[in-house]
Amino acid sequence: MPSKILFALISGQGILLSGLLMANPLSGQMDPGRFPRLTLDNNVVRMELYLPDPGRGSYRATRFDWSGIIYRVAYAGHEYFAYWKSTHDPDFHEDLSGPAEGWITPGLGYEEAKPGEGFIRIGVGVLEKEEEEKYGAFKTYKILDHGQWKVRHGKDWIKFTHKAKSALGYGYAYTKTIRLNKKEPGFTISHRLKNTGEKKIRTDQFNHNFFILDGEETGPNLEVEFPYDISTASDLKGLAKLDGNKINFLQPFDRTSVWMELKGFGDSADQHAFTVRNKRTGARVEVKLDQPLHAMNFWACQTTFCPENFIFIDLEPGKTFSWEADYRLFGE
């Protein structure tokens, strides 16, 4: 039986409430108009987002956090994010866009849950553990309880709040606020996680960052730069090379991809930063976080390139942890 949830969208126009939301699977090519969405605009930066909705949302899989799924960001005639695939299925693990955030760790209570019992994915809800040897990161699990979502917004900001609890003693209140910046064009993503359960929360958190700069496919016109020299033991397949603190691409990607685990960063939050640029059009994004890096990976395919930056969260019951990511946009 589907679980009841409270879904609220609150703005200056009033409150929209709905009760029981039923699944309505959609698949095929992405059509941004058919899913609940919202546009933020401060007359400098324009951002289009999808809203979390268990029945009609653009993303209903269980790998990524449902809040803050950004479809498009535009500034000064440049575009920085867009949808990166030619097909779309809301229930498929990777079919989303923008600075997609998630958790590599299986979830709260996964190890102790028995098959049929619930474990938590933050920003998703309580999922049913299956009879399996290990957690399936790319699998879409059955959602037993969507938790409670509330969304508030203004002209240039949006705030998502999600709460969930499991029978195994885990619980949280998670808030994400995205705000457009005008003086220094860009946006910030602010997070607040409170442990409302009886057990400690220990988890990583990462951002997949599906960058698409002015529609440029991955190739020699794109570049990634870090504030430290980088190295990797991963196989770059002749597609990319590391040059000091930069990743450069040697050729256009043709239906192929590359993944690498990057080393070289230290313990200081000052090193939790990177820059992506399109050398042909001048579009550039500088990203900085206020927490130390836990890990730094990178993935790219033909249509998108993705610095994947991680932090680690260790949170006692009743305690709160906050962190913020700043995205500054440039266009020449």
Number of domains within the chain: 2
3-state secondary structure the chain: CCCCCCEEEEECCEEEEECCCCCCCCCECCCHHHCCEEEEECCCEEEEEECCCCCCCCCCCCCECCCCEEEEEEECCEEEECCCCCCECCCCCCCCCECCEECCCCCECCCCCCCCCEEEECCCEEEECCCCCCCCCCCCCCEEECCEEEEEECCCEEEEEEEEECCCCCEEEEEEEEEEECCCCEEEEEEEEEECCCCCEEEEEEECCEECCCCCCCCCCEEEECCCCCECCCCCCCCEEEECCEEEECCCCCCCCEEEEEECCCCCHHHCEEEEEECCCCCEEEEEECCCCCEEEEEECCCCEEEEEEEEEEECCCCEEEEEEEEEEECC
pLDDT at residue number 254: 87
pTM of the model: 0.90
Alpha-carbon gap, residue 179 to 176, rounded angstroms: 10
Same domain for 192 and 55: yes
- Domain membership of residue 240 (yes or no) is yes
**Given strand 143-145, what is the order of strands in its sheet?**
118-121, 125-128, 143-145
120-158, pLDDT tens digit by residue? 999 999 999 999 999 999 999 999 999 999 999 999 999
What per-residue confidence (pLDDT) applies to 291? Answer: 98
Q: What is the pLDDT of residue 4?
A: 37
Inside any domain, residue 215? no
In a domain, 132, yes or no: yes
Residue 251: CB atoms within 10 A of its CB come to 12
pLDDT tens figures, 76-127: 999 999 999 999 999 999 999 999 999 999 999 999 999 999 999 999 999 9
pLDDT of residue 34: 84
Which pLDDT does position 33 carry in this prediction? Answer: 64
235 and 176 housed in the same domain: no
| Domain housing 233 | 222-303
pLDDT for residue 176 is more than 60: yes
CA gap 324, 120 in Å, rounded: 23
Q: Residues of the chain with pLDDT > 70: what percent?
A: 90
Q: Is residue 320 part of a domain?
A: no
How are strands ordered across the β-sheet holding 69-75? 37-41, 45-50, 69-75, 78-81
**Length of the chain in terms of residues written:** 332
pLDDT (mean) for 257-278? 97
Is the residue at 197 inside a domain?
Answer: yes
Q: Kindly state whether residue 331 falls inside one of the protein's structural domains.
A: no
Q: Which residues pair with 329 in a beta bridge?
A: 285
In a shared domain, residues 173 and 248: no
Q: Is residue 330 a part of any domain in this protein? A: no
In this prediction, residue 2 has a pLDDT band, given cuts at 50, 70 and 90, of: very low
Least confident of 10-19, 57-66, 202-211, 317-326: 10-19
